[in-house]
Amino acid sequence: MHKLSRHLIGAFVLAAAAHGAGAATIVAENPYNFRDNNFGLLAGMPARDIIVFGMFSVSPDAPGTTATFFQRDTLANVDVTGPLPAQDYTFNPWVFEDVVPYSPGLGGAWTFEFRNGADVAVRETYPLGDVPLMPLAENVTIVGVGPTPTVQWNLPALPAGTAVDWASVFVLERLSATTFDILHLSDNLPVSQTSYAIPANLVNPAFGAAVTDLSLVDGKTYIVAVALVDGDEFGRIRTRSLYGIDYTTAPIPEPATTMLMLTGLAGVAGATWARRRRGEVRGT
């Protein structure tokens, strides 16, 4: 999903193998913890400055495993705790994740407790530290109408202390105004690349064993989102922006249909010209 970095791919495959083997002991690996400037995923909502945290590879997954999170907000002097929900995303069903509003007092590590029957596993994320807000991608547009459109964007001006290390593109199915399912995540894209063609097969190669091949369906509404990422020296996300726009798939007109449309338009234009010409003759 939107936390994937290069070093996680091999670990994900191992976690997938453990999940498929039905291992009883809890496996909880690949934590993440980053600041996120998030716009467009919740319909009609303004941009959200949030902290996204969780564990990328958990096995066994829900409903057998439950989890809670904890951290002390050092500025507000309060405990921030609650259930860490399982996110059954199509592209990776082994994610446990939550978000909270950004607070400078939440710069430490999150502690997670996973439970499955008598099994308990306690894990921690890396600390967030003091990170700036990543600006959103600019001029995000989608070119095309079929199942393989192209998304384009421009890089914004960056605040001091922030750099875009890579970009990613997400394809999500909009389930409601506030819910979505992640179907596809591109590989990490170089900063110089500011366009991405949605593939006909939405499955990222790293997750081919986890999900069934998918493609965009006519008439469904999706979110196509561009992520700009500033990572640390370990390839982990520090701060990210995620700009999403809705895209409803429409069928590409058949060549014959296109010719009929063009012929019809030419006929309308010709008739309009003829009427105007007759008016000019009568008025002479």
Query: Distance (Å, rounded) from C-alpha 135 to C-alpha 168?
Result: 15
For residues 247-259, average pLDDT:
71
Residues 162, 38, 92, 198, CA torsion sign? negative
Residue 244 domain boundaries: 8-248
Query: Distance (Å, rounded) from C-alpha 175 to C-alpha 253?
Result: 27
Task: Choose among 27, 80, 25, 82: nearest CA to 56.
Answer: 27
CA end-to-end distance (rounded Å), the chain: 70
- Asked if the structure places residue 271 within a domain, the reply is no
**Interior CA angle at 169 toward 185 and 68, to 5°?**
55
Of the ranges 39-48, 87-96, 135-144, 235-244, which one carries the lowest mean pLDDT score? 87-96
Reported confidence tier of residue 211, pLDDT bands at 50, 70, 90: low
3-state class (DSSP) for residue 150: strand
- Asked if the structure places residue 200 within a domain, the reply is yes
DSSP 84-103: --EEEETTEEEEEEEEEE--
The pLDDT assigned to 257 comes to: 47
| Of residues 84 and 233, more confidently modeled | 84
Looking at the predicted structure, is the pLDDT value of residue 270 above 70? no
User: What would the pLDDT profile of 148-168 be if each residue is shown by its tens digit?
Assistant: 999 999 999 998 888 999 999
The pLDDT assigned to 226 comes to: 98
Q: What are phi and psi of 215, to 5 degrees?
A: -145, 160
Q: Which residues pair with 32 in a beta bridge?
A: 54
Looking at the predicted structure, is the pLDDT value of residue 212 above 80? no
The pLDDT assigned to 43 comes to: 87
| Edge-to-edge strand list for the sheet holding 92-101 | 86-89, 92-101, 48-59, 27-39, 237-248, 221-231, 166-174, 180-185
Query: Distance (Å, rounded) from C-alpha 171 to C-alpha 68?
Result: 28
| Of residues 208 and 132, more confidently modeled | 132
Reported confidence tier of residue 252, pLDDT bands at 50, 70, 90: confident
Query: Distance (Å, rounded) from C-alpha 154 to C-alpha 140?
Result: 7
- Asked if the structure places residue 129 within a domain, the reply is yes
pTM of the shown model: 0.79
Percent of the chain with pLDDT over 90: 64
- Asked if the structure places residue 268 within a domain, the reply is no
- Asked if the structure places residue 1 within a domain, the reply is no
User: What would the pLDDT profile of 98-146 be if each residue is shown by its tens digit?
Assistant: 999 999 999 999 999 999 999 999 999 999 999 999 999 999 999 998 9
The pLDDT assigned to 17 comes to: 39
Supply the mean pLDDT for the chain: 83
Looking at the predicted structure, is the pLDDT value of residue 14 above 50? no
Three-state SS letters, 175-204:
CCCCCEEEEEECCCECCCCCEEECCCCCCC
3-state class (DSSP) for residue 32: strand
List Cβ neighbours of 228 (8 Å cut-off, separation of 6 or more).
134, 135, 136, 137, 155, 156, 164, 167, 240, 241
Find the CATH number of the domain harbouring 216.
2.60.40.10
Total domains in the chain come to: 1
Torsion angle of the four alpha carbons 22, 66, 32, 202, in this order, in degrees rounded to the nearest 10: 60
Looking at the predicted structure, is the pLDDT value of residue 94 above 70? yes
Query: Distance (Å, rounded) from C-alpha 17 to C-alpha 96?
Result: 18
